[in-house]
Amino acid sequence: MQISAKTDYAVRALLSLAAAWKADAGMQSAVADLPALLQRAWELDWSRATEHLHKVGSMFVIGRGPGYAVALEAALKLKETCGIHAEAFSAAEVRHGPMAVVRRDFPVLCFTQNDGSSASVHDLAREFRERGAKVLEILGGEGDALPAAISSYPPCTAVGLIQSLYRMANALAVKRGCDPDKPPDLSKVTETL
């Protein structure tokens, strides 16, 4: 379930356009390094997450900024391949109601970015821990931190985060007895009448 070459080209093309439009040499360099970043992200050890999540039924996946897009994709893949009821929330919005279901040992996966949103995600992760939740936080913080492949350009870091998640979701699906390549009752074709 690695990011395919086709997807890699599409992501690189979009990020390259953004970097060119901004005429930002730093962004252009980060985009040029994206294949190496994806390889580093694929090689990271997220086995703690597999151990942490292999028996859960429901969980939250949190992000902010580009990390929120990662959280949305992560929740979808965890549902699709592992049969986990994973709900994605923005760190800016989760306190407005969803927080009420968080109890002791409730699993939360927080995608922290290397940008201005990191402090708010770290603060939220701490708040979840204070409620007794089991928090896995990417890019540090307290407790069970997972490593990340970092880019100088945060949107490239986000692409690396989802690459690491894909590898972990594949291992988690297998550990849960699921076939990540053939999710039950999932059709890639949608018919409309």
CATH number of the CATH domain containing 59? 3.40.50.10490
Average pLDDT, the chain: 86
Task: Name the residue range of residue 101's domain.
Answer: 5-174
Can you give the pLDDT at residue 134?
Answer: 94
Residue 188 lies in a domain: no
Residue 33 lies in a domain: yes
Residue 39 lies in a domain: yes
Q: Which residues contact 150 (CB under 8 A, 6 or more apart)?
A: 114, 139, 157, 160
Residue 138 lies in a domain: yes
Q: Which helix (H) or strand (E) holds 92?
A: none
Q: Does 7 have pLDDT greater than 60?
A: no
pLDDT in tens, 133-192: 999 998 765 556 899 999 988 888 999 999 999 999 999 999 999 988 887 766 666 667
Can you give the pLDDT at residue 190?
Answer: 62
Residue 78 lies in a domain: yes
Residue 18 lies in a domain: yes
Can you give the pLDDT at residue 149?
Answer: 92
Residue 31's pLDDT band (boundaries 50, 70, 90)? confident
Tokens encoding 106: 């409730």
More confident residue, 107 or 152: 107
| Number of domains present in the structure of the chain | 1
Q: Does 3 have pLDDT greater than 80?
A: no
Can you give the pLDDT at residue 142?
Answer: 58
Residue 98 lies in a domain: yes
